[in-house]
Each structure stands twice: as structure tokens, then as C-alpha cells.
């Protein structure tokens, strides 16, 4: 990033800036919630949780809600894609960590690809400005640097911020970010070289704190021939199938769709109700259950294999990207301490890749 793009703003002015934007944007900021951090819609008088490491639940829920009504049906109901932002406002996601901003760029490939476009996601996405906050305190289980990430990764962000203490350094990443800063130029001043140097030192310190390093080069090629390897019998042993890993993951995007009928109209010839989309998980036994009763993934082994293959083999095949950003949520929150890093190391250590080996 060129130095001329950097601007500086006093941290105490940030709340005033956000307050001035409330009529134009639905603003989401990190807040402290019962000892954890979570993104919440900004309210007057609310403070920002600047010193958080990362949120427990991924902010992907802002663009891809855990549950959403796709449309309503019945007499007089207008069948239309909802997917709009509240009150018709644009979205401003403020202070998202770089790994989660990168995850949004991966979801863009799923919901806005050449073969499929999801109008609900895309309607929100095109109206969203993403302002990321560089990571200065990575957690012990973060491993973003093994997956093209870093504490100041810009991918998926329109603007990136650096917390310098009393000041915040801001750099535009996209044209949308440049226009945003230009429009709000009364709040920003040109940054000096000393500000940029301070940022560089902070990022070097942050980078050195990331101790987990996993060599997953050519993992797709390893997995191409490992579908029937005996190692899958070992990897799944501790798994409870609770789905926490997928629900907390910022790149998981599987969902289920159900029709909910209004109980009062259930016996009517023209029932009314709504179609709802909600997150689902490949770790659940019902995820691939056929109407016939057959289930191609009947045990934890097949479901665990699907999760790993999807992120590290199928997505690289379909989207040319590994769908993991190394945020460590699945490691921190797993109730049985199943560590994805250990799984990846085991897979990378496979010697002879046996196509014909049977489980």
C-alpha cells in the first residue's frame, strides 16, 4: 500500500464519525458481550471494543444470516426476494479482523460465482462497506500465515485500520474505500511517515506472535488420492458431531431450506407461510439423508472427511481457493479439543497415497 493512501484519525473521533453515519448506514461494530466479543448494530452512546482478539461467532452472519426468510406465500402474499438491508440503508461493517474480511471474499465466490448467484447475499454485499482492523494480538491457535493471511491482510476489505493508541491509521484498499474516506474527509488528516513507521513496527511484532506454522503446500494433490486412506479412521475418533466447528467457521456456507406453515392456516386449501433458509452443517447425520432412507455419509468418519475435503480439496478445485483462513475458532471452541492443525499435519504426512486402499 502506498503511503499517500494513509490517513489518520483520532480514536476519540471515531464514535462521532459513526454517529454521523447512522442515517445512511446500518453500522455493525465489535462489542463486549458476556466476556466475549460479537458484532452488534451500533447504537448511540455505545462504545467500540477496540482491544478484542476476535469474535466468537463469525461476522459472516451480517451478510449471511443464521436464519432468514426468503419469501412469504399464501393468499395476497407477494413472492419476492427479501435480502434487503434494514430500512433500505447500506451496511457498514466496522472493525472486522483481516481473517474474517478474507472469509467474506471467499463467500463472494460461492454466492456470486459464474455458475450461481444468490440474490439475497448479493443484495446485501453490494451495499456493504467493509472496514477491517489489523490484528495486533493474534491468539495462540491462529495460523493465518499458513493460509496466505497475515495480521494486516487487505483481502475482502475496502479500508484497513491500524490501532496506534490515541490515533487510528486508515488506508483505502478499494475504490469504494477511497470514495468513503474522501466523502468523510473532515474527519481524516494526512498521515505522517512516523505514523506509518509505527504501524510497520506493530505489524512486525504481531506477525512474530503467530507461532503456528503448517506447511500445507500441495494439500489438494495429497487429498486427490487420499479419499480411501486408513487415516480417516483415526481422524474422526474424538468427534462428537456437534457442528460447532462449522457454525463458528467464517467460510462454511451450507444451509437448509424449510417451509413453515402458519398453524392457523394449516387446514386451509390455500395455506400461508414462509420459506426460511438457515445454516446447516455437514457434520450432522441428517445433512445427506436421502428421502429413501439411504445416507451416503452414515458415520462421523464420512462426515469428518467431507468437511476436510470440502475446504482443502473441493473448494480449491471449484474456486481455486482453500476455504480456511486460519482464524482458529474451530480449535478454540471444540469441546473435545480436536485440533484442525494436527489433522492437516497428519494428512500432509501421508506417504504412499493409495487409490485402491479400502477402509
> Domain coordinates of the chain in residue numbers?
3-208, 219-348
The C-alpha atoms of residue 281 and residue 181 are separated, in whole angstroms, by 39
Whether the Cβ atoms of residue 91 and residue 85 lie closer than 8 Å to each other: yes
pTM: predicted TM-score of the whole model, two decimal places? 0.91
Q: Cell triple for residue 107?
A: 463467500
Please check whether residue 154 is in contact with residue 184, taking contact to mean a CB–CB distance below 8 angstroms: no
* The length of the chain, given as a count of residues: 359
**CA–CA distance, 209 with 203 (Å, rounded to integer):** 10
Residues contacting 154, CB < 8 A, separation 6+: 1, 98, 101, 132, 160, 173
How far are the Cα atoms of 62, 147, 164, 317, 326 from residue 213, in angstroms, in the given order? Answer: 30, 9, 27, 24, 10
Using alpha carbons, list the distances in angstroms from residue 240 to 21, 181, 289, 310. 45, 47, 18, 19
Q: Which uninterrupted H or E stretch holds 202?
A: helix 193-208
Long-range contacts (CB closer than 8 Å, 24 or more residues apart) made by 116-123: 119/81, 119/83, 120/68, 120/70, 120/81, 120/82, 120/83, 120/277, 121/63, 121/64, 121/83, 122/83, 123/81, 123/83, 123/84, 123/85
* Buried/exposed 49-74: b ≥16 CB within 10 Å, e otherwise: beebebbebbbbbbbbbeebebebee
pLDDT in tens, the chain (359 residues): 444 589 999 999 999 999 999 999 999 999 998 889 999 999 988 899 999 999 999 999 999 999 999 988 887 666 555 555 556 799 999 999 999 999 999 999 999 988 889 999 999 999 999 999 999 999 999 999 999 999 999 999 999 999 999 999 999 999 999 999 999 999 999 999 999 999 999 999 999 999 999 999 999 999 999 999 999 999 999 999 999 999 999 999 999 999 998 877 656 666 788 899 999 999 999 999 999 999 999 999 999 999 999 999 999 999 999 999 999 999 999 999 999 999 999 999 986 444 444 44
- Following CA atoms 28, 30, 34, 35 in sequence, which dihedral angle do they give, to the nearest 10 degrees? 170
Question: What sign results for the dihedral spanned by CA atoms 111, 112, 117, 120?
Answer: positive
| CA atoms lying within 13 Å on the CB side of residue 305 | 20
Give the separation between CA 196 and CA 310, rounded to whole angstroms: 39
Amino acid at each position: 500500500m502506498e503511503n499517500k493512501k494513509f490517513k489518520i484519525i483520532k480514536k476519540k473521533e471515531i464514535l462521532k464519525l459513526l454517529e454521523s453515519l447512522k442515517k445512511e448506514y446500518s453500522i455493525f461494530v465489535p462489542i463486549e458481550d458476556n466476556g466475549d466479543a460479537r458484532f452488534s448494530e451500533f447504537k448511540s452512546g455505545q462504545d467500540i471494543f477496540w482491544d478484542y482478539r476476535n469474535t466468537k461467532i463469525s461476522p459472516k452472519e451480517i451478510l449471511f444470516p443464521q436464519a432468514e426468510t426468503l419469501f412469504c406465500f399464501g393468499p395476497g402474499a407477494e413472492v419476492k426476494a427479501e435480502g434487503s438491508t434494514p430500512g433500505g440503508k447500506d451496511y457498514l461493517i466496522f472493525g472486522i479482523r483481516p481473517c474474517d474480511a478474507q472469509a467474506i471474499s471467499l463467500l463472494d465466490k460461492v454466492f456470486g460465482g459464474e455458475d450461481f448467484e444468490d440474490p439475497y447475499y448479493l443484495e446485501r454485499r453490494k451495499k456493504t462497506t467493509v472496514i477491517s482492523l489489523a490484528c495486533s494480538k493474534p491468539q495462540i491457535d491462529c495460523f493465518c500465515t499458513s493460509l496466505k493471511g497475515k495480521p494486516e491482510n487487505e483481502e475482502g476489505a475496502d479500508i484497513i485500520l491500524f490501532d496506534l493508541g490515541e490515533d487510528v491509521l486508515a488506508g483505502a484498499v478499494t475504490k469504494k474505500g477511497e470514495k468513503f474516506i474522501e466523502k468523510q474527509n473532515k474527519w481524516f488528516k494526512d498521515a505522517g511517515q512516523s505514523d506509518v513507521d509505527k504501524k510497520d513496527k506493530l505489524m512486525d511484532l504481531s506477525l512474530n506472535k503467530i507461532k503456528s506454522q503448517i506447511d500445507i503446500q500441495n494439500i489438494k494433490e495429497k487429498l486427490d488420492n487420499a479419499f480411501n486412506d486408513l487415516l480417516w479412521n483415526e481422524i474422526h475418533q474424538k468427534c462428537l458431531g456437534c457442528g460447532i466447528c462449522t457454525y463458528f467457521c467464517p467460510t462454511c456456507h451450507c444451509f437448509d431450506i424449510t417451509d413453515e406453515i402458519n398453524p392457523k392456516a394449516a387446514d386451509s386449501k390455500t395455506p400461508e407461510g414462509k420459506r426460511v433458509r438457515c445454516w446447516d452443517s455437514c457434520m450432522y447425520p441428517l445433512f445427506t439423508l436421502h428421502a429413501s432412507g439411504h445416507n451416503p455419509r452414515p458415520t462421523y468418519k464420512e462426515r469428518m472427511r467431507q468437511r476436510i475435503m470440502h475446504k482443502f480439496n473441493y473448494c480449491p478445485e471449484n474456486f481455486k481457493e482453500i476455504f480456511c483462513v486460519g482464524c482458529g475458532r474451530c480449535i478454540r471452541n471444540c469441546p473435545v479439543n480436536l485440533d484442525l492443525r494436527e489433522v492437516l499435519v497428519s494428512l500432509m504426512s501421508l506417504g504412499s497415497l493409495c487409490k485402491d486402499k479400502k477402509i
